Amino acid sequence: MNLNQKGVRALFNKRALTPFEIMKYLHLAFAFLTISGFVLRGIWMLRGSSLSRHPLTRTVPHVIDALFLGTGIALVLQLQLAVLQNDWLLAKFAGLVIYIVLGAIALRHGKTMHARRLAFAGAVCAFFYIVGAAVSKSPLSWLA
Ligand code: HEM
């Protein structure tokens, strides 16, 4: 039984979750929130909606992303992982940098709509590459 199955079983049997399980579920929840928020902002950007300039749209994603990164770092510490010796973790970091750069081009810095659309699609691909690397624990991601 892997950790995910153990965690789900704990929820059903009302066993207390371990601190690691709690952190992992928080990490997953923030991953879901961050990509949902990104896609929503992308749609607003593509439609030219004024919602993309709303003060909450400018602040809430930073809070979510900071908490998301915090749960990732907490998992690394809890598992006592050596970052440089875990290629899947390095692949996640590389993917995260690409996701952030392409995300910034898509939502902020892209000069043309075409560039923004391409960057948006690339950022979503980078995100799903990272999920694949996390699940498979391999830089080959979904191809592993
Ligand atoms: C866009 C960025 C990220 C996404 C989409 C993501 C996604 C995920 C997912 C889906 C899992 C669960 C994999 C499983 O089924 O076991 C996971 C696990 C993990 N993540 Fe992330 N993550 C991201 C960023 C980070 C960052 C920045 C760190 C470190 C600072 C990190 C550290 C970890 C660790 C250590 C685990 C492994 C937990 C385990 O062994 O069960 N993640 N991540």
- How open is the CA angle 131-110-46, to the nearest 5 degrees? 75
- Listed in sequence order, the residues at least 6 apart from 25 whose beta carbon sits closer than 8 Å to its beta carbon are 7, 17
Distance 50 CA to ligand 1 centre (A): 33
CA distance 138 to 144: 6
pTM: 0.89
Domain boundary assignment for the chain: 18-80, 84-144
- How open is the CA angle 25-16-78, to the nearest 5 degrees? 50
CA distance 133 to 141: 4
Return the residue matching tokens 């300039």: 53
pLDDT in tens, the chain (144 residues): 566 677 677 767 778 999 999 999 999 999 999 999 999 999 999 999 999 999 999 999 999 999 999 999 999 999 999 999 999 999 999 999 999 999 999 999 999 999 999 999 999 999 999 999 999 999 999 999
Q: For ligand 1, say whether the CB of 35 is within 6 Å of any of its atoms.
A: no
Q: For ligand 1, say whether the CB of 130 is within 6 Å of any of its atoms.
A: yes
